[in-house]
């Protein structure tokens, strides 16, 4: 009796599977939409950490342009007391970052993370899932088994079929997440500045003065580019180059007192940035130029969250060499030609900050 029911069931399911595979070739558009939806569900899934409880959004929340919604100097991982060494980056516009490469002059551009250690959105994902100071999964097998029991596993199967190997499944997870991170939700181009460029909004007097200083006396645009990017045609506020701005060590960084298994050097740890990725003294202390889009929401600022406010950040960049500041964490290679001596006045700094606030997405035209 039970056997015949089982056989009947088996027949029925095979029939359904057979039928659904006929005449159902998905268009590239449909595939892209499914991938994006799978990526979205993965991005928000708190079951993908060990123990459960931490999704990407803990450190990359939509309301703060996909940076840390708690504005921590560095975000705490799934395990209490586990800290990475750097400030959580905003993931808005992350898909525009080109791969890391060295140009003819020996200068580096592109690459993900503050130090460029990962070349593509798909590849970088090995980081957060397995980092003990982030989502703390022991291996791909444990991550993949979570996905198998997730409510969106049926969506996964629609796209990629049943999971056959953990490696393949992991590649698919990364692909879906990268698709989501490249979607319009991350690339709004809806700031007041964008409206201004399209002639649909006017900058106020102080904002306009800020823009002029940004491109003039402040020379900010030599790194935070305001001409359209050659590939995307968009203004991205970064040349994706690497510089040491001479930022002091942040003594309040909880990384210095986290577990020795994460930071064996304790308070002696020095962050060499790109220098340790490419193992080159000439690159010591350099970090990738961040986009300034949505910078209103992404504080505290710099790779080590040294400053809490935009005003202090701008003041440091404009006047580093004209006043007394704590000494740089890495004294080699400080970009002294184009930063540190713009000598902006207090009012001029205020104007630049007013302009930076025009770079937040979600502007509603008056």
Does 340 participate in binding ligand HEC (rule CB under 6 A)? no
> Using an 8 Å Cβ cutoff, are 59 and 75 in contact?
yes
Does 249 participate in binding ligand HEC (rule CB under 6 A)? no
Does 113 participate in binding ligand HEC (rule CB under 6 A)? yes
What is the C-alpha to C-alpha distance for residues 308 and 73, in angstroms, rounded to an integer?
A: 9
| Among residues 36, 38, 40, 60, the one that binds ligand HEC under rule CB under 6 A | 60
| Among residues 36, 41, 75, 253, the one that binds ligand HEC under rule CB under 6 A | 75
Cα 349 to Cα 66, 87, 210, 248, 341: the distances in Å are 26, 24, 8, 21, 13
Nearer to ligand HEC, 18 or 47 (CB): 47
Least Å distance, CB 219 to ligand HEC, is: 5
Does 64 participate in binding ligand HEC (rule CB under 6 A)? no
Does 277 participate in binding ligand HEC (rule CB under 6 A)? no
> Using an 8 Å Cβ cutoff, are 77 and 91 in contact?
no
Nearer to ligand HEC, 20 or 328 (CB): 328
> Using an 8 Å Cβ cutoff, are 119 and 111 in contact?
yes
> Using an 8 Å Cβ cutoff, are 287 and 277 in contact?
no
- The token pair at 180 is 């989501």
Q: CA angle 319-321-323, nearest 5°?
A: 70
What is the C-alpha to C-alpha distance for residues 271 and 50, in angstroms, rounded to an integer?
A: 27
| Among residues 156, 186, 243, 297, the one that binds ligand HEC under rule CB under 6 A | 243
Interacting residues toward ligand HEC by CB under 6 A: 54, 56, 58-60, 75, 77, 84, 86, 88-89, 91, 94, 97, 112-115, 121, 124-125, 128-129, 134-135, 177, 218-220, 222-224, 243, 245, 247, 287, 289-290, 292, 295, 298, 301-303, 310, 313-314, 317-318, 335, 338-339, 342, 352
């Amino acid at each position: 009796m039970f056997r015949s029911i089982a056989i009947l069931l088996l027949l029925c399911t095979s029939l359904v599977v057979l039928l659904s595979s006929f005449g159902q070739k998905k268009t590239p558009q449909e595939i892209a939409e499914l991938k994006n939806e799978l990526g979205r569900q993965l991005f928000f899934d708190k079951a993908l950490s060990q123990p459960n409880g931490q999704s990407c959004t803990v450190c990359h929340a939509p309301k703060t342009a996909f940076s840390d919604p708690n504005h921590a100097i560095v975000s705490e991982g799934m395990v209490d007391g586990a800290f990475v060494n750097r400030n959580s980056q905003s993931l808005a516009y992350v898909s525009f970052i080109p791969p890391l490469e060295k140009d003819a002059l020996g200068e580096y551009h592109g690459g993900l993370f503050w130090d460029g250690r990962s070349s593509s959105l798909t590849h970088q994902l090995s980081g957060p899932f397995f980092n003990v100071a982030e989502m703390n999964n022991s291996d791909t097998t444990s991550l993949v088994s979570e996905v198998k029991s997730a409510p969106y596993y049926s969506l996964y199967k629609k796209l990629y079929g049943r999971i056959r190997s953990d490696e393949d499944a992991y590649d698919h997870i990364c692909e879906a997440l990268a698709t989501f991170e490249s979607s319009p939700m991350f690339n709004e181009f809806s700031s007041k500045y964008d409206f201004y460029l399209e002639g649909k909004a006017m900058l106020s007097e102080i904002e306009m003065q800020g823009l002029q200083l940004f491109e003039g006396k402040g020379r900010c645009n030599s790194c935070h580019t305001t001409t359209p990017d050659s590939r995307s045609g968009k203004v991205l506020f970064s040349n994706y180059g690497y510089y040491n701005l001479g930022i002091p060590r942040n003594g309040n960084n909880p990384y210095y007192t986290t577990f020795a298994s994460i930071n064996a050097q304790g308070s002696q740890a020095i962050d060499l940035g790109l220098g340790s990725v490419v193992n080159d003294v000439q690159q010591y202390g350099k970090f990738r130029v961040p986009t300034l889009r949505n910078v209103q929401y992404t504080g505290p600022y710099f790779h080590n969250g040294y400053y809490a406010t935009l005003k202090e950040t701008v003041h440091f960049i404009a006047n580093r060499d004209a006043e007394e500041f704590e000494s740089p964490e890495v004294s080699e290679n400080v970009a002294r030609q184009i930063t540190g001596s713009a000598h902006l006045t207090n009012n001029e700094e205020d104007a630049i900050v007013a302009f930076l606030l025009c770079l937040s997405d979600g502007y509603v035209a008056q």
